[in-house]
Structure 1
Amino acid sequence: MPITSLTPSQGTVGTTVSINGTALGTTVSVNFGGAVVTPTGVSNTLVTFVVPASAPCSGQVSVSTNLSNGTRTNAVPFFVIVRPTTTGLDESCLPAAGGAITVFGTGFAAGGTVNVGALTPVAFAAGGSNTAVTVTAPAHTPAGCFDTQQVTVTTAGGTGTAGTTLIDYYNAPDLTAATLTPDTGPAGTETTIADGACLISITDVTFTDSAATAFTGLPYTPIDETSIVTAVPAAAAAGAGAFTITTCGGTSGPAAFTVT
């Protein structure tokens, strides 16, 4: 049995493979599945070759060598690992603190890493789903209110195509310096909240009245990333109340409004 093992025993197109064994010095070619490959190196105990472009996308193939006397050695298995692909995410945005995301695609069962932009890759174990993997994306603070990061998956089969799956990171909205015009009035009063920050992609506007009743999902009109127009709920109790604004980046602190 001239061939004893392959190093590595799995890989992708372009992988250099060492065939280990004995009496291999007269090898003239390598059989890789249905392909015949010219070796890149031959000695009595070692033959090297490169996995050809004709290799199947994934699966097991047999590897043997052809000797100069016309005989063929025993065959040993080599597993071709598929290059992963990414087709989508279960989230379109994350807060700066990061969070759980599920990446959809193919070729994940071998294990590897999820790569979010240039952030630290997140490892995931082999043996899970081949078409979905859930990881905790790392924290990232955008330079502005938000930025976009590409998501790829790397396994032993390679790295999926970049630029096809994207996620946005958002900084939290901020009403610390906000002004309300007016900032007092009866229930139902329309007011402009100005001088805020990152008031973009708003998912909720809430008013909490003096009775601690929270009115969520208030209608609003955006002006720019610092200002919106909204209104105090008609059922709000008199006294000190406050607006908060929620985006993918989180929920702002309160902006006070007194209901008269």
Structure 2
Amino acid sequence: MPITTLTPNQGKVGDTININGTSLGTTVSVNFGGAVVAPASVSNTLVTFVVPTTAPCSGQVSVSVNLSNGTRSNAVPFFVIVAPTTTGLGQTCLPAGGGSLTVFGTGFAAGGTVHVGALTPVAFAAGGNNTQVTVTAPAHTPTGCFDTQQVTVTTAGGSGTAGTTQVDYYNAPSLAAATLAPATGPAGTETTISGATCLIGITDVTFTDSAATAFTGLPFTPIDATSIVTTVPAAAAAGAGTFTVTTCGGTSGPATFTVT
């Protein structure tokens, strides 16, 4: 049996494969599944060839060689690793500290790495779900309130196409320098919060009254990244209460409104 091993015994289209064995010096072609491939080099103990573009997307194929005397060698298995694709994300945004990120696509069972922009790649193990992988995305602090990072997946089969999946990183909003106009009034008062930072992609506005009752999901109207208009809940107790604002980046500190 001329062929003993393939090195490597798995790979993708374009990879160079070594056929190791004996009595290979008269090899004229390589059988790769249903394709016949010209060898790149031939010696008595080593034949090399390139995985052809006609290779199946994934799965096991048989590899053998044809000798000049018309005989075919024994066949050995080779596993074609599919190039990964990315079709979507489980999250559209992340806080600056990073967090759980689920990538949907194909070709993930071989294991590999998730790349978020130019940040440190995150490895994931082989043998998991072929169509989705969940990793902990690295921390990243945007220069402004948010920025967008490209997400791709690389495996032994290659890299996914860029441009299909992106995630936004958000800095947390801040009300530290904010002013309220008015800052006092009866329950139900409409007020404008100004001078804040990063009021972008707001997911919740909460008012906690003097009795420690938290009213979540308050209606609000965004003006810009520094200002919103919202309303003190009609059921808020009299006394000093606080507004907080939540975005994908986190929850702000409080801004005080006194209910009269």
Q: What band does the TM-score fall into relative to the shorter chain?
A: over 0.9
What's the counterpart of residue 31 of structure 2?
31
Kindly state the Cα deviation for residue 42 of structure 1 after the two structures are TM-superposed: 0.8
Q: Deviations over 1:204-230 (max 9, x none)?
A: 001111111111111111100000011
Structure 1 residue 191 corresponds to structure 2 residue 185: no
The residue aligned with 1:12 is 12
Shift of 1:50: 0.3
- Counting only pairs closer than 5 Å after superposition, residues 69-84 of structure 1 correspond to structure 2 as 69-84=69-84
Alpha-carbon distance, 1:232 to partner: 1.0
Report the aligned-residue RMSD: 0.8
Cα distance in 2 for residues equivalent to 1:204 and 1:60: 51
Amino acid of the structure 2 residue aligned with 1:77: P
Query: How far does residue 72 in structure 1 lie from its aligned partner after superposition?
Result: 1.1
> Which residue is equivalent to 1:64?
64
Counterpart check, 1:219 vs 2:238: no
TM-score normalised by the chain length of structure 2: 0.98
Counterpart in 1 of 2:106?
Answer: 106
> TM-score when scaled to structure 1?
0.98
Aligned-residue offset at 1:135: 0.8
2:41 paired with 1:41: yes
Q: Cα distance, 1:134 vs. partner?
A: 1.0
Uncovered stretches (5+) of structure 1, i.e. residues with no partner: none
1:180 aligned partner? 180
Question: How many equivalent residue pairs?
Answer: 260
1:120 maps to 120
Offset at residue 151 of structure 1 (A): 1.1
Percent identical among aligned pairs is: 83
User: What per-residue deviation string (whole Å, max 9, x for no partner) do you get for residues 1-48 of structure 1?
Assistant: 110000000000000000000111111111111111111111111000
Determine if the alignment matches structure 1 residue 53 to structure 2 residue 53: yes
Within 5 Å, which residues of 2 pair with 1:145-184?
Answer: 145-184=145-184
Amino acid at match of 1:166: Q
Instruction: Give structure 2 stretches of 5+ with no counterpart.
Output: none
Q: Which runs of 4+ in 1 moved over 4 A?
A: none
Task: Tell me the distance in 2 between the aligned counterparts of 1:9 and 1:106.
Answer: 21
Distance 1:16 1:139 in 2: 37
Give 1:240 shift: 1.1
Cα distance in 1 for partners of 2:58, 2:123 equals 22
Partner of 1:86: 86
Deviation at 1:66, TM superposition (A): 1.0
